[in-house]
């Protein structure tokens, strides 16, 4: 990350920002092998593959809204304090543009801000996601609106949509718990499709608001290709994709290995992005004929799983 970041000494998101990237890779390699040695494991990492892009690469940023209306990242070691001056070299540039828009909206919407000590207030997080295909998603995470704020919230969210492009979805997410997390269980699409699509290694993936996806789309093809290499020939075999999120590995392996069965598993279910739908779109695109991923019990999946790991392996930065 750039040493020009004005918040590098305060922000809690970039602990290694003062270290040149090449030295970071060497340090990570040393830490990994040191951990293996400490646990008396016989494995060793010989190489860390560097990311092709080290700035503006993250496709998701979770911005905190504090009780005084500050919007941004938390200060280092201070969960209660938010930096209300956002200049970040991590998030994609599209995220930066949307952040400034959402920050201005937050301060002028006339809505209450969530107090994490008292457990009161409305606005909690602004999550912004983007893709390399120029799609984006803004997720406003709130507590359950009180009766007096419901109408105001809806009107101001509708107003926010007027500043967004047609390729940007606006989602209202409700977190009714006191848990300080940046997602909710109740989702409402205010505008847009309610999902994004990303293309990695010639595979198209669909992402819904709560679904996990690889946060560095520029390094993701390298990760997928490395897994394909280690997996070997999967023809006629079953792929068990645990904690699948958007089905990144299951779909990526099935697309190129003609795998007849892919079992995607995620808990809780809301964290997945309908990988079955993405899977079948890839089947149609590739002209393959594969069985639909079939729901099985956790015990059945576990008993049928097997793995093998090469003695020499690489990892990604």
Known binding residues for S-adenosyl-L-methionine are: 214, 243, 266
Annotation: binding site:
214, 243, 266
Angle between helices 248-257 and 220-231 (to 10 degrees): 60
Query: Could you tell me if 292 and 276 are in contact, meaning their C-beta atoms sit under 8 angstroms apart?
Result: yes
DSSP code for 5: -
Please tell me the distance from the alpha carbon of residue 161 to that of residue 42, in angstroms, as a whole number.
Answer: 55
CA distance 147 to 282: 45
Q: Where do the DSSP E strands lie in the chain? A: 44-49, 60-65, 71-72, 74-75, 78-82, 123-130, 136-142, 168-174, 186-191, 196-200, 203-207, 238-242, 261-265, 312-316
Element (H, E) at 26: helix 21-38
Strand pairing class (136-142; 168-174) = parallel
Other beta carbons within 10 angstroms of residue 116's beta carbon come to 15
* Sheet containing 60-65: order of strands: 71-72, 60-65, 123-130, 136-142, 168-174, 186-191
Looking up tokens 């209300």 gives 84
CA quadruple 266, 242, 183, 101: dihedral sign:
negative
Residue 154 CA to its chain's centroid (Å)? 26
């Amino acid at each position: 990350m750039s040493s020009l970041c004005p918040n590098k000494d305060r922000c809690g998101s970039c602990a290694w920002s003062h270290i040149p990237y090449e030295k970071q890779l060497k340090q990570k390699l040393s830490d990994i092998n040191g951990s293996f040695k400490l646990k008396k494991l016989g494995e060793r990492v010989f190489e860390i593959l560097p990311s092709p892009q080290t700035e503006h690469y993250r496709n998701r940023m979770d911005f905190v809204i504090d009780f005084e209306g500050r919007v941004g990242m938390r200060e280092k070691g201070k969960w209660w304090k938010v930096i209300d001056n956002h200049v970040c070299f991590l998030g994609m540039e599209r995220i930066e543009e949307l952040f400034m828009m959402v920050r201005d909206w937050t301060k002028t919407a006339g809505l209450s801000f969530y107090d994490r000590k008292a457990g009161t207030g409305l606005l909690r997080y602004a999550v912004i996601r983007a893709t390399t295909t120029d799609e984006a998603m803004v997720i406003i995470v709130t507590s359950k609106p009180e009766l007096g704020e419901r109408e105001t919230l809806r009107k101001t969210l509708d107003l926010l949509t007027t500043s967004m492009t047609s390729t940007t979805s606006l989602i209202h997410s409700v977190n009714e718990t006191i848990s300080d997390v940046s997602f909710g269980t109740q989702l409402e699409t205010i505008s847009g499709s309610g999902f994004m699509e990303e293309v990695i290694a010639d595979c198209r993936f669909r992402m819904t608001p709560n679904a996990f996806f690889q946060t560095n789309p520029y390094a993701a093809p390298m990760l997928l290709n490395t897994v394909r290499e280690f997996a070997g020939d999967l023809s006629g075999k079953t792929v068990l994709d645990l904690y699948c999120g958007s089905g990144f590995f299951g779909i990526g392996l099935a697309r190129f290995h003609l795998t007849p069965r892919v079992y995607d598993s995620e808990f809780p279910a809301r964290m997945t992005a309908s990988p079955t739908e993405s899977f079948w779109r890839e089947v149609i695109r590739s002209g393959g004929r594969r069985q639909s991923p079939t729901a099985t019990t956790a015990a059945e999946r576990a008993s049928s799983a097997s793995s093998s790991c090469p003695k020499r392996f690489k990892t990604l930065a």
